[in-house]
Structure 1
Amino acid sequence: MTGVPLATAAGRALVDEAMRAAIERLDPWTRRVTAYHLGWVDADGRPVTGGGGKALRPALALLSARAAGAAPETALPGAVAVELVHAFSLLHDDIMDGDRTRRHRPAAWTVFGPSAAILGGDALMTIAIELLLDEDGPAAQRAARVLTEATRRLIAGQARDLDFESRDDVSLDECLAMVADKTGALLACSCAIGATLADAPPALVDALDRFGAELGMAFQLVDDLLGIWGSPDTTGKPVLSDLRARKKSLPVVAALAAGTAESRRLAELYARPAPRPEDELRETARLIEAAGGRAWAEAQAAHRLEQAETRLGRARMDDGVRAELRDIARFVTARDH
């Protein structure tokens, strides 16, 4: 997936220019690591094209300001900040998960080393906060707090995700709470931060936040499905990547909790140490589907998307902006992406 619907070329150019200006604040070495991670340069620092991400979070932030009746530029510091926090989380995620590819090329830590990638992630998070602190007024202070709280929750979710990998007793409720923090918190922040910077009424900020939280759950459910059954052309990672890492993703936990013969066999396979042979990984995927994990995740993704749209429908905003937010939600949760 290379873009989001109705995120205009002008809006994307606006964010890209501000992102590049933010990265220029870094020292040359850290700048090179982060520019590579963001898809702007190759390993030698030479510019490349077409390597950027989806720009989902900045697009939501700009629309958030428009939902409050403000110009999209109002949300620009927040739009860049949420994308930098997202990039920080991916830099660290790849190291923790041992993922060697990101967006169809070697992950930054495999190119520059884990230490450089960790520092790069730390730098991105720091600049994100700086961008909001550079702004004047109480609205910017509130936006900075929204971002820091979302980042704290993101880290807590990632910590629980790592803990789950060494546990055999992860419940579905625990897994849902983990996803609400690891993925939902930053998407909720993205949907609310533009309206916050625009000093919108609390009711609108809350509605956008809740829309983003539900969208985050749907997004992660789809991502978990792709992590097992997705094509490498779509995910940028090897097939069965989540199973190879023994991740307790939502389809896996749902299948383990189903109480079937397939669930019990699945538990046996998941208890085995890595690395595991390819035929065993394929059997694991088959057992998850047979135990109902895939169908449950697909149904839950549809339900969460419906809930997100319900939240959106109740919010007071321009109908055109509402339609754009709805289109983005449907686009990023489509299984063919």
Structure 2
Amino acid sequence: MTLALAPGTTEAWDLLRRYRLLTGPRVRLAVDGLAEPVRTVALFHFGWCDENGRPADDGWGKGVRGALVLAAAQAVGGPADQALSSAAAVELVHNFSLLHDDVMDGDRMRRGRRTAWSVFGEAQAVLAGDALLALALDTLASAPPPPAVNSAATRELCRALLELVTGQGHDLAFERRGRVGLDECLAMAAGKTASLLAGACALGALSAGAAPHQVAGVRGFGHHLGLVFQLVDDLLGIWGDSRSTGKVTGGDLRRRKKSLPVVAALNSGSEAGRRLADLYGGAGPLDEDQVARAALLVEEAGGRDWAEREAARRWEHAVEQLSRAGLGAEAARGLLALAGLVTRRDR
């Protein structure tokens, strides 16, 4: 799941740029070690070469997950560069998931350019994703901290990976199911979106040698942050301004996607919810009039209000987790600044 960024503060953007400059070269070093033809596919995906292998610089991504790793390390009192291997590993895992997601979803564009599978074919894109996953684990295994820390970090990343795959599997299954419970949908979002954010924060703390309660606290922060992001993303997908968000407004409804506000509406027991269920029960994409009607029914059934309340509640839980980790406002300043970039977005 790709994170969109809010305008944010100058401080937050400077922090993200600084962390991205630290993480990018480590990711590139790992990718450069791959053998052909997978190397060219991976480099193309990151924007470091064109489809013919010629050097390019199209931007490898926002680097938010790696930035969360470094910010978490600093929040618990460690230096950012001590967590660089973990930051690179998280970004490699994220891009593994993107390569595979693009194949599963049939998406032909990402980051303003063609997706790897649409250029090199599905098989090569899947292999490139597999290679990035292997690189991520190798990057953690060869990190400089003590072996015990590396082992804990590898287990943390594997836990996040298993949750991510489970969430993606549920998301695909929901497309074929007529009824989905709200708790099921939240669990899916926790896996598909929140798991890697939680793992990123925990990896940063582990790399800095944090105490167990601190690791648990920042992991919990990342978990709730991921759910806030997904809720906000789903709201913007229905009612956002595409000129500000870069996301096609109504696209989820057009595909009859069971996003969190939609599932809340479908489970509301209201007349609007029943009418929405009838509308969603057909086959094929909704037309423009049906999309507009679906958005109105989701709102009438309380889906929008529920999602906004739940996002606010999850944000409170995220901040509480930092307090439980014993992190004051100043120590957690970087984490909170980055969190603001990915959750407080334009409508």
Task: Bin the TM-score by the shorter chain.
Answer: over 0.9
Task: Give deviations 1:81-126, integer Å, cap 9, x for gaps.
Answer: 1111111112212222223322233322222222222112111111
Paired position in structure 1 for 2:113? 105
Mapped to 1, the partners of 2:156 and 2:303 lie a distance apart of 34
User: Which stretch shifts more, 256-265 or 153-162?
Assistant: 256-265
Paired position in structure 1 for 2:229? 219
Q: 1:51 aligns to what SS in structure 2?
A: coil
Q: How far 1:207 moved relative to its partner?
A: 0.6
Paired position in structure 1 for 2:279? 269
User: Which stretch shifts more, 275-284 or 22-31?
Assistant: 275-284
Q: How far 1:237 moved relative to its partner?
A: 4.8
Q: 1:244 to 1:109 in 2, by over 3 A?
A: farther
The residue type paired with residue 174 of structure 2 is F
Q: 1:281 to 1:47 in 2, by over 3 A?
A: farther
Q: 1:268 to 1:2 in 2, by over 3 A?
A: closer
The answer to whether the Cα contact below 8 Å between 1:39 and 1:52 also exists between their aligned partners in 2 is yes
Paired position in structure 1 for 2:84? 76
Mapped to 1, the partners of 2:85 and 2:200 lie a distance apart of 11
Q: 1:227 to 1:8 in 2, by over 3 A?
A: closer
**What is the aligned-residue RMSD (CA, Å)?**
2.1
Task: Give deviations 1:143-202, integer Å, cap 9, x for gaps.
Answer: 000001110110001111111111112000111111111111111110110111222110
The answer to whether the Cα contact below 8 Å between 2:240 and 2:346 also exists between their aligned partners in 1 is no
The one of the two structures with greater contact order (alpha-carbon pairs below 8 A, sep at least 6) is 2
Q: How far 1:215 moved relative to its partner?
A: 0.5
Q: How far 1:229 moved relative to its partner?
A: 3.2
The residue type paired with residue 294 of structure 1 is R
Aligned sequence identity (%): 48
Mapped to 1, the partners of 2:72 and 2:106 lie a distance apart of 35
Paired position in structure 2 for 1:320? 330
The answer to whether the Cα contact below 8 Å between 2:255 and 2:286 also exists between their aligned partners in 1 is no
Which 5+ residue runs of structure 2 have no aligned equivalent?
Answer: 7-11
Mapped to 2, the partners of 1:24 and 1:152 lie a distance apart of 26
Choose the corresponding residue for 1:5, options 13, 33, 37: 13
Q: How far 1:328 moved relative to its partner?
A: 1.5
Aligned residue runs from structure 1 range 195-214, under 5 A? 195-214=205-224
Mapped to 2, the partners of 1:196 and 1:18 lie a distance apart of 19
Paired position in structure 2 for 1:147? 157
Q: How far 1:234 moved relative to its partner?
A: 4.9
Paired position in structure 1 for 2:9? none
Mapped to 2, the partners of 1:115 and 1:235 lie a distance apart of 32
Choose the corresponding residue for 1:253, options 263, 284, 299: 263
Aligned length: 337
Mapped to 1, the partners of 2:240 and 2:102 lie a distance apart of 18
Choose the corresponding residue for 1:25, options 27, 33, 37: 33
Q: 1:287 to 1:319 in 2, by over 3 A?
A: closer
Q: How far 1:11 moved relative to its partner?
A: 2.6
Q: How far 1:35 moved relative to its partner?
A: 2.2
The answer to whether the Cα contact below 8 Å between 2:215 and 2:325 also exists between their aligned partners in 1 is no
Choose the corresponding residue for 1:297, options 307, 314, 317: 307
Mapped to 2, the partners of 1:47 and 1:72 lie a distance apart of 29
The answer to whether the Cα contact below 8 Å between 2:197 and 2:222 also exists between their aligned partners in 1 is yes
The answer to whether the Cα contact below 8 Å between 1:101 and 1:236 also exists between their aligned partners in 2 is no
Q: 1:320 aligns to what SS in structure 2?
A: coil
The answer to whether the Cα contact below 8 Å between 1:104 and 1:236 also exists between their aligned partners in 2 is no
User: Which stretch shifts more, 205-214 or 269-278?
Assistant: 269-278
Choose the corresponding residue for 1:244, options 254, 264, 269: 254
Matched, 1:163 2:173: yes
